[in-house]
Chains A and B, each alone.
Chain A
Amino acid sequence: MSNALDVAAIKAQFPLLQRELNGAPLVYLDSANTSQKPQSVIDTMTHFMQESYAPINRSAYQLAAEATDLYEGARSKVRRFINAKRDHEVIFTKNATEALNLVAYSWGRANLERGDVVVLTEMEHHANIVPWHMLVQEKGIILRWLPLSPDGQLDLSTLPELLDGAKVLSFTAMSNVLGTITPVQRLCEAAHEVGAIAIVDGCQYVPHNVTDVQAWGADFLAFSSHKMCGPSGVGVLWGREELLRAMPPFLGGGNMIADVRFDGFTCADIPAKFEAGTPPITDVVGLGAAVDFLQGLGMANVRQHEIDVASYAMRTLTERFADDIQLHGPTNVEVRGATFSFGFRDIHPHDLSQVLDQRNVCVRAGHHCAKPLMRLLGVNATARASFYLYNDHADVDALAEALDGATDIFGS
């Protein structure tokens, strides 16, 4: 068993994980999709709405000042969580998808011309593909793809060639399909050597690992609240302040301006410049509570725990099912998270997840918003079990038991 986390005590803090469906406990293995919420996040948000809810940044009364402090306090918490230099480098967006779109739209449109090269990896989520495809259509930029090695890691041998003349390297820190953790610092350095910026999609990485944007030397980082025990409805874009300051605004409206005249407008400074309109105030405060919760556990402990669960899952599933299960992604737990896409006995992932659901085992089935990678793997879809800080060996065992049941219906 893992000693890094007291999973029973953690589980007890998640009300939803206490729920029974059809008289049996839930086995929630879909945290790469979205995570469950601890009581502290729920209480913080409830308390905020009951006691402190008010507009932020625009009213003089005491209540509004209190709400603003809590909102901005969450920004400081997030800044410390990713070890950014300054609070105003942290921009709250609707989600990570919007954060990546913001960079492509604002930085990309201002800095990329026809023929400019953007390098992506073959295992990106659609959110780090489609915004760039849109710039291909609009501006005629060129996309290059960093390939994968057979074990699902990035094949860095072609990186210098691909980066030659590139303006952007945008990549995931951890694949939502394969679980692969990428060498972020090395990739950032490689990008900077050719004068390109490095954009990190941290959706899958940040909730599970110690994040240090300064050690990475990254230029932008996008991630979402809802995958790290916080509420949905808010994402984060972190960017280096000189880049953010030089970028044109994204959405126009209230809060993002210093002045508006009949003949034009002047932008506010960051972060307000990129936070047009009333933000998801309660959700941001909830994200702050999620950061507190994670800091309380210690992200190094979370990572250690997940290495243990990932090892146990790989061992259990391969020992028990041998060739009947095809686990995608690296086998070395040092370079992977606890997210496993798999095929099982030629049973379609949809059918498989339906059968697992009979035992309350919640896994995702589908293309995981990574269709180019799916084509590369030669599949239309996979099932995916993803483990988090509230999952333990018993959840792995429950998955294995439920997989056994699938054979009864579809045969072997």
Chain B
Amino acid sequence: MPGLEDLYREIILDHHRNPRNRGELPPPASHAVGHNPLCGDEIDVFLEVDGGIVSDVKVGGQGCSISQSSASMMSQAIKGKPVEEVRALVRRFKGMMSIPDEDGNPIEPDPAVKLGDLEALQGVVKFPVRIKCATLAWNTLLEALEQV
């Protein structure tokens, strides 16, 4: 059995205790709500995109340490990035979570996309039940991007 230290890395717990970019953005910022129907967790992603750049992002909602820290790290990672880079990051992150692409094929890691702190979430893969927690914010981000 993988140990809890694989899951609850210090950086994850730090983001859980002190979530970054917490809050809301007023319209016309796009807003998507993600639900994890298994556990009732909810995440709000507010997104402002200016000239193809994610100029601001806020995260709301409630959830476990994995879903909250993933959302927090995500918000840090995408702020100020071009939308195309953000999409590539989502893809890279989902690949790290062992989630296949639309055709059911494994996502090969793109070395050009840097995960940074997000790599701390790698251990989640050893706890398959928690993958949905880690990806909730990212799927919600994709929905918010669709609304831009």
- Give A contacts to B, CB under 8 Å: 21-22, 348-351, 354-355, 358, 365-367, 371, 374, 380-381, 409-410
Contacts A22-B1, A358-B4, A410-B13; is A351 near B65 (CB within 8 Å)? yes
Instruction: Answer whether A410 and B65 are a contact pair too, CB < 8 Å, given A354-B130, A358-B4.
Output: yes
A374 contacts which of B38, B40, B65, B66 (Cβ < 8 Å)?
A: B40
CA–CA, A244 and B83, complex, Å: 60
B148 within 8 A of A: no
Chain A: CB-nearest residue to B65: A351
Return 14 A-B CB contacts under 8 Å, by A number: A349-B64, A351-B66, A354-B4, A354-B127, A358-B1, A366-B39, A366-B40, A367-B39, A367-B40, A381-B40, A381-B41, A409-B13, A410-B13, A410-B65
- Residues on B with beta carbons closer than 8 Å to the beta carbon of A381: 39-41
> Taking the nearest CB of chain B, how far is it from the CB of A70, in angstroms?
37
Chain B residue contacts of A409, Cβ below 8 A: 4, 8, 13
- Give me the interface of B with A, judged by CB distance under 8 Å: 1, 3-4, 7-8, 13, 38-42, 62-66, 127, 130, 133
Instruction: Give every chain B residue within 8 A of A358 (Cβ-Cβ).
Output: 1, 3-4
A380 engages B130 (CB within 8 Å): no
Please, how many angstroms separate the alpha-carbon atoms of A389 and B3 in the complex?
31
Question: B residues within 8 A CB of A365?
Answer: 39
Contact of B40 with A348 in the complex, beta carbons under 8 Å = no
Q: How far is the CA of A410 from the CA of B63 in the complex (A)?
A: 15
Bound-complex Cα distance A358 to B7 (A): 12
B41 proximity list for chain A (CB < 8 A): 350, 380-381
Chain B residues lying within 8 Å of A348, measured Cβ to Cβ, are: 63-65
Decide yes or no: A350 and B64 within 8 Å by CB, A367-B40, A381-B41 being known contacts. yes
Which residues on the B side are within 8 Å of A351 (C-beta)? 8, 64-66
Hey, which chain A residues are within 8 Å of B8, CB to CB? 351, 409
| Contacting pair A355 B4 (CB below 8 A) | yes
Chain B residues in 8 Å Cβ range of A380: 39-42, 62-63
Highest count of chain A CB atoms <10 Å: which of B4, B39, B66 = B39
With contacts A380-B62, A380-B63, A409-B8 known, is A350 near B1, CB below 8 A?
Answer: no
B130 to chain A, nearest CB (A): 7
Who on chain B is nearest to A352 by CB? B64
What's the Cα separation between A183 and B17 when bound, in Å? 44
Q: What are the residues of chain A within 8 A of B127 when measuring CB–CB?
A: 354
Give Cα A252–Cα B94 distance, bound, in whole angstroms. Answer: 44
Q: Which of B4, B13, B42, B66 contacts A350 (CB 8 A)?
A: B66
| Closest chain B residue to A350, Cβ basis | B64
Residues of A within 8 A of B1 (CB): 21-22, 358
A381 to B62, CA, bound (A): 10
Distance (whole angstroms) from the CB of B15 to the closest CB of chain A? 13
Q: Find out whether the CB atom of B13 lies under 8 angstroms from the CB atom of A366.
A: no
Q: Which residues of B contact A21 (CB under 8 A)?
A: 1
* CB proximity of B2 to chain A, nearest CB, Å: 10
Q: Which 4 A-B pairs have the closest CB atoms?
A: A367-B40, A350-B64, A348-B64, A366-B39
Query: Chain B nearest CB: distance from A242 CB in Å?
Result: 39
| A367–B40 CA distance with the chains assembled, in angstroms | 6
Report chain A residues within 8 Å CB of B42.
380
Residues in A whose Cβ lies below 8 Å from that of B133: 350
A36 to chain B, nearest CB (A): 20
B133 and chain A: residue at smallest CB distance:
A350
Q: Are B40 and A371 in contact (CB under 8 A)?
A: yes
Give the chain B neighbours of A349 by CB distance below 8 A: 39, 64
Across-interface contacts of B3 in A (CB, < 8 A)? 358
Contacts of A367 on B, CB cut-off 8 Å?
39-40
Most buried by B among A358, A365, A380, A410: A380
